[in-house]
Chain A
Amino acid sequence: MVSRVRAELRKLLGLPTAWVGLVLGTLTAPAIVLLNAPYTRRAIAAGTLTDTSDLGLRDLGVGLIGPMVLGVIAVSSEYTSTSQHAPGARQLTATLTAVPDRLRLLVAKTAALVLVVAAQAAVAATATLGLTQVLHGDHVPAPAPARVAGAILYWTLTALLAYAITLITRNGIVPLTLLVINSTVVSVSYLLTKITDLASYLPDIVGAQMFIRDADFPVEIAPLTAGLVMTAWVAVLLAIGAVLFQRRDA
């Protein structure tokens, strides 16, 4: 088990695109806090910011492209051709030769992804929230540990969501487009909440309620319930992905 996870970790961290995700995801949120500091300070002074306890946690959202890229690339890299001159040669063939038990392979891959993303989320959250404390410490209360844990869980679950969708589509472009569009400032899921309250239970909307309080969510969901609903989404998609991975020809 340990050697499989180590192999998957090495494969993931050996991908240049994974490092794009790691660097982007870790640095974007702290950079935004730094860039927005003058505007935030003015907004606090003017009293337009009603709940400052959300401040750093809310900025964390822009870093989510990191876990998305990592989740997608962990699977799609297995399916892209290794060379222009060797049509049909994909890394997955070698991977399955080394670990023929597909379920064990998937468990190791998932574990490696969770380890990398959780570490990235912890670093990004520490940097973002620490910077918020340094810049606006007088006005912003230190975030509760439970909310920080919720944010780290949200990042990890987002990566797993991307990973599960890619397991189903076996192609990186589709989940990437879907997820990146949906992480823009006004997301499609948010638009849907304007049409039906049911959209509040979409994974990205419900997951955010684990650690963000002051937002115009049409349905208030307790953090614990929110975490459970998002976990359920990820679990269902992962189960579908795992069954397909086991049954389909590689």
Chain B
Amino acid sequence: MNVARAELRKLLTLPSLRLTALLTWAATLLLAYAYAYADRDAPLGDAALAPLGYTQAGFLVLGVLAAASEYEEGGQIHTTLLAMPRRLPLHVVKALTLGAVTLPVAAVTAATSTLPAGGATWTPAATAYLTLTTLLAAAVAGVVRRAVPAAILLLGLYFIVGPLLRARPGGIAAYLPDTAALDPPRGAAATVAWTAAALALAALTFHRRDA
């Protein structure tokens, strides 16, 4: 419990996380407005979820910053491990607290996008998706250990490789982690499976590698 409280306090006091959450929400609001406005003459697609397609980048960054903050200058991870040497429980607690901190941000962001477009039924699913995306990003950043390369990897995958693969009929794109909105049952399964796999890989490397 102490570990959870400590991790929670670390996450809540990182200014970069607060800023990211705020910018993400503001961007969602702007895009939701843009979609609502543009929809009058030329529909651009599903206005309930489309803004989240862009602002999920904020959640990727949130996860990356949360995980990479331990490895920045000063090497906070050394202090963390000194206080809590059992790495696997620490990793589980880290994932849980990050999920708990992200959930309200994800809920507000998802509601901002879905409610104006009349897609209230999508809100819980979108909230879960954004939270899982954050955990996936944190897991990747935990393996890469540096914020900028992890962000390049994730943003490149979500915003360049993914859309390109999806533009082709069939293929492997349906199994990427960011397809939940396109094909709900399979996409949700893909998101959960990718996140679980990434977290497991991060736990393994965290357990085995020198800090």
CB of B135 within 8 Å of the partner chain: no
- B147-180 interface mask toward A, CB cutoff 8 Å, 1 = contact, 0 = none? 1110110011001100110011000000000000
A-B contact count (CB 8 A): 92
Decide yes or no: A180 and B159 within 8 Å by CB, A87-B73, A191-B31 being known contacts: yes
A180 touching B156 by the CB < 8 A rule?
A: yes
- The answer to whether A181 and B54 touch across the interface, beta carbons within 8 angstroms, is yes
Chain A residues, Cβ within 8 Å of B85:
none
A120: min CB distance to chain B, Å: 16
Question: Is A137's CB within 8 Å of the partner chain B?
Answer: no
Binary interface encoding of chain B residues 55-82 relative to chain A, with 1 for a CB under 8 A from any of its CBs, else 0: 0011001001100000111110110000
Are the CB atoms of B38 and A195 closer together than 8 Å? yes
**Smallest CB–CB gap between A143 and chain B, Å?**
22
Q: Is there an interface contact between A84 and B34, defined as CB atoms closer than 8 Å?
A: no
Residues of A within 8 A of B31 (CB): 188, 191
Complex contact A191–B160 (CB within 8 A): no
- A80 near B160: Cβ-Cβ < 8 Å: no
Contact B155 A20 (CB under 8 A): no
* Contact B148–A172 (Cβ < 8 Å): yes
Which residues does chain A contribute within 8 Å of B148, judged by CB atoms?
A: 17, 72-73, 76, 80, 172-173, 176
A184 in contact (CB, < 8 A): yes
Q: Is the CB of B168 within 8 A of A35?
A: yes
Q: Does B83 contact A (CB under 8 A)?
A: no
Q: Report Cα–Cα, A172/B160, bound state, in Å.
A: 18
A17 contacts B149, CB within 8 Å?
yes
A85 touches B155 (CB 8 A): no
Instruction: Indicate if A208 sits at the interface (CB-CB under 8 A).
Output: no
Q: In the assembled complex, how far is the CB of residue A220 from the closest CB belonging to chain B, in whole angstroms? A: 19
Choose from A62, A76, A89, A194 the contact partner of B160 (Cβ within 8 Å): A62
CA distance A84 to B79 in the complex (A): 12
A contact residues, total (Cβ < 8 Å): 40
- The answer to the question of A192 belonging to the interface, with a C-beta cut-off of 8 Å to chain B, is yes
Give, as a whole number of angstroms, the nearest-CB distance from A101 to chain B.
Answer: 27
- Contact residues in A for B168 (Cβ distance below 8 Å): 35-36, 39
Q: Is the interface of A mostly helix, strand, loop or mixed?
A: helix
Most chain A beta-carbon contacts within 10 A, residue among B71, B73, B78: B73
Assess whether B155 is in contact with A84, with CB atoms less than 8 Å apart: no
Q: Kindly state the separation between the CA atoms of A178 and B148 in the bound complex, as whole angstroms.
A: 13
Which of B38, B64, B160, B167 has the most CB atoms of chain A within a 10 A radius of its CB?
Answer: B160
Please tell me which one of the listed residues A17, A20, A69, A194 contacts residue B42 in the complex, with CB atoms under 8 A apart: A194
Residue A100, interface by CB 8 Å? no
B54 touches A188 (CB 8 A): yes
CA distance A192 to B58 in the complex (A): 19
* Selected contact of A184 from candidates B35, B38, B73, B160, CB within 8 Å: B160
Q: Contact: A173 with B65, CB < 8 Å?
A: yes
Whether the Cβ atoms of A180 and B38 lie closer than 8 Å is: no
Residues of B within 8 A of A186 (CB): 44
In whole angstroms, what is the CA distance A58 to B75 when docked?
45
Contact B72 A180 (CB under 8 A): no
Chain B 14-46 against A: per-residue CB contact (8 Å), 1 yes, 0 no?
Answer: 000000000000000001001101100010100
- A113: chain B residues at CB < 8 Å are none
Q: A86 and B160: CB pair below 8 A?
A: no
Closest to B150 in A: A173
Nearest to A64 among chain B residues (CB) is B160
Add 4 more A-B contacts to A172-B148, A180-B159 (CB < 8 A).
Answer: A65-B156, A173-B65, A176-B148, A177-B61
Please list the residues of chain A having a beta carbon within 8 angstroms of any beta carbon in chain B: 16-17, 20-21, 24, 28, 32, 35-36, 39, 62, 65, 69, 72-73, 76, 80-81, 83-89, 172-173, 176-177, 180-181, 183-186, 188, 191-192, 194-195
28 A–B contacts, CB within 8 A, in A order: A20-B149, A20-B152, A21-B152, A39-B168, A65-B152, A65-B156, A73-B148, A84-B72, A84-B73, A84-B77, A84-B78, A85-B75, A89-B73, A173-B64, A173-B65, A173-B147, A176-B148, A181-B54, A181-B57, A181-B155, A184-B160, A184-B163, A185-B163, A188-B31, A191-B44, A194-B34, A194-B42, A195-B38
